[in-house]
Amino acid sequence: MTAVVDVWLVDTRTPFESTLDAEELRRRDALRLSEDRRRFDAAHSALRRILEPRVGAVRWSRGPNGKPHLAGEPCQVNLSHAGEWAAIAVTDARPVGVDLQDAVAGLDYAAMARRFFPPAEAEFVAARGAEAFALLWARKEAVVKAAGDRLTRGLLLPVAGDPPPAVTHDGTGYTLADLAAPDGFRAAVALAGPEPFSIRRH
């Protein structure tokens, strides 16, 4: 049976009711900028509204590198935000990672790709620009987040290609898919294991 990943794209500017718990409130209030606090509250409140019908009370634990996961639940979930948007991925299948990146104007993406990416991917970014960099970064970070690892250990993963290639990280295979995203953004989702999966957009 093909695994299904449910994906939500959330506009954090939309009015919302805050549903954060005490720990989330502490993390929100530690953010310096009011806009960042609002975005955090909107994204994490949306995540709770999505999860509560599935799991009831939402209780978080954290992995060795800080990745949050639902305590005592098989349901797998991941959240990413960039600019005014957040992406949420939920599945009952396998560890999942999602990432959303915006192509910020004015950065030297070719230089960044030469610094962080394999040579072939650096050439790809030099030829195609900011959105190519954002796409590759989103794919890499989605894999790393599915693995619960640190981003620095995933920047050399080879992820260029159409469709995205299968990726192996620390001996585990991951399947990648690109996600539709607002103009100027790129997004990707990764699921542990080599088996294909389908995406259900909300």
pLDDT tens for the 202 residues of the chain, in order: 789 999 999 999 999 999 999 999 999 999 999 999 999 999 999 999 999 999 988 998 888 887 888 988 889 999 999 999 999 999 997 999 999 999 887 889 999 999 999 999 999 999 999 999 999 999 999 999 999 999 989 999 999 999 999 999 999 999 999 999 999 999 999 999 999 999 999 9
Quick check: 193 and 173 in contact, CB under 8 A?
yes
* pLDDT of 108: 93
* pLDDT of 134: 96
* pLDDT of 126: 95
Strand partners, 5: 199
Quick check: 148 and 123 in contact, CB under 8 A?
no
For the domain made up of 3-201, give the CATH fold: Ribosomal Protein L22; Chain A (3.90.470)
* pLDDT of 160: 96
* pLDDT of 69: 85
* pLDDT of 138: 98
* pLDDT of 14: 94
* pLDDT of 115: 94
* pLDDT of 62: 86
Domain boundaries, the chain: 3-201
> What's the predicted TM-score (pTM) here?
0.94
Residue 93 CB partners (closer than 8 Å, separation 6+) = 3, 4, 5, 76, 191, 197
Alpha-carbon distance values, 60 to 37, 91, 94, 102, 180 (Å): 20, 16, 17, 28, 28
Alpha-carbon distance values, 20 to 55, 125, 160, 165, 188 (Å): 16, 39, 37, 37, 26
Closest Cα to residue 133, out of 145, 124, 143? Answer: 124
